[in-house]
Amino acid sequence: MVLKMRDLKIGFIGLGLIGGSIAKAIKRVHPNHKILAYNRSENARLTALNDGTADSVTDKVDESFSDCDYIFLCTPVEHNITYLDILKDIINENCIITDVGSVKTNIHVAIADRHLNRQFIGGHPMAGSEKTGYDNASGYLLENAYYPITPTAETPEDKISEFYELVESIGAIPIVLNYKEHDYAVAAISHVPHLIAASLVNLVKHNDSEDETMKLLAAGGFKDITRIASSSPEMWQQICSTNSANIVTLIDKYIASLSDIKNAINSGNSEYIYDLFHESREYRNSFSDNRRGPITKEYTLYCDIIDESGAISIIATILAQNDISIKNIGIIHNREFEDGVLKIEFYSKEALDKADCKLKNYNYKTYIR
C-alpha cells in the first residue's frame, strides 16, 4: 500500500529509458503529482505530454523549474553537470536535485563545487534494458530493483525520508549509502565484471584459429558469462573514466588472485583449486534471486527435446497458446556444462514460471538456473 504523500511538482531533465520510466512510475502511483519535463527531442516531450505522463513540457531548462520540489537529472553525466550550472540560479531553497547515474563521486564533487550540498540526493536506479529511449520506458521497469540513494552530509533528514518514500512507492528498493561506498561496490559487482567479460571475449578472438574453432564452440556457459560484453562501448567508456580509481584498485586485487590461481595450477596444488570453486559456489548460491541488480537478469529456461522435425515449433505453439511471449529461443550445441537442449529466454519471471509449468504439463523436462 502506498502511503499518502504531499502533492509534489517534479521536474525531469531527460526522458530516456530511465527518466521516462521513473516519470511514468510516479504518475501511475501518484496521479496528483505534477510532472514538468524537458528533453532535447521534441518527439519524447510530446509523447510524454500526450500519454499523460507529463503535465507540462518545455524545450529549455529555465525558470519553469523554479517551483519544483524535486528535479531528476536523467541525461549523460557530462550534460548533467552543465544543467547544474543552470539550475543553481533557478531552483528554490527547498528543491532537491537528484540524478540517476551509475557513478556518484563525480556528481557529488560537482554539487559541492557549486555549494548545493543541502539540495542534493544522488540516486542510482539499478534497472535497465537493451532498448533505449522514451518509447521503451515503462512505469514498472524499476519494480523490485535496488535504488541506492546517496545524500550528502548536509541533506536535511526530512528530505532524505521523503525521497526514500517516493522511491519506495514506485516499487523500487531504496538503500541509503555513502557515495564513496556506492562507487566501490558497483565497481566490484558491475564495472570490473563488464571489463572481464569484454577481455575474455577478446582473448578468444585474438587466440582463435583461422577456421574460428573457438568461436564455433563458444556457446552455453561461455556465452552466458560473457553476455555483458555486448554492452554499449560509449557507456562503458564513460563509466570507466568516471570510476577509474575504484576500478583500478579492484583490478589489482583481481590480478593478484589470478596470479595465485596460476601458481596453484602450475604447482599442481589441486586442493587450492577445489577450495576456490567450493568457496565461490557456496557464496554465489547464497545470492538472492528476488532483487534486480546492476547486471540485468536473464529469465532463461532450458528444455530437453527430441531432435525431430517440428520439435521447436510445438514448444513455441504451446507457449503462444498460453499467451507467453518469448524473447529468444535457440538450440544449445555445446552442452558440456549445460542442462537441456533448447534455451528459451523470457521477458519476465512471471513468464518464465508460467512456461515452466505449462511445458511440464506436456511432460517436457525443464531446467531453470
| Structure confidence by residue, pLDDT tens digits, 82-96 | 999 999 999 999 999
- Rounded distance between C-alpha atoms, residue 66 and residue 53, angstroms: 20
The answer to whether residue 307 scores a pLDDT higher than 70 is: no
Instruction: Extract the C-alpha cell encoding 88.
Output: 543553481
- Rounded distance between C-alpha atoms, residue 123 and residue 137, angstroms: 18
Alpha-carbon dihedral 141, 145, 146, 149, rounded to 10 degrees: 20
Instruction: Extract the C-alpha cell encoding 191.
Output: 564495472
The answer to whether residues 298 and 130 touch, using CB atoms and an 8 Å cutoff, is no
The answer to whether residue 286 scores a pLDDT higher than 80 is: yes
Q: Is the dihedral of CA 48, 51, 52, 57 positive or negative?
A: positive
Please name the helix (run of DSSP H) or strand (run of DSSP E) that holds residue 344, with its range, or none. Answer: strand 342-346
pLDDT tens digits for range 205-250: 999 999 999 998 887 778 888 888 888 888 889 889 999 999 999 9
Output the pLDDT for position 333.
64
Query: Is the pTM of the predicted complex or chain greater than 0.85?
Result: no
Output the pLDDT for position 1.
44
Output the pLDDT for position 336.
47
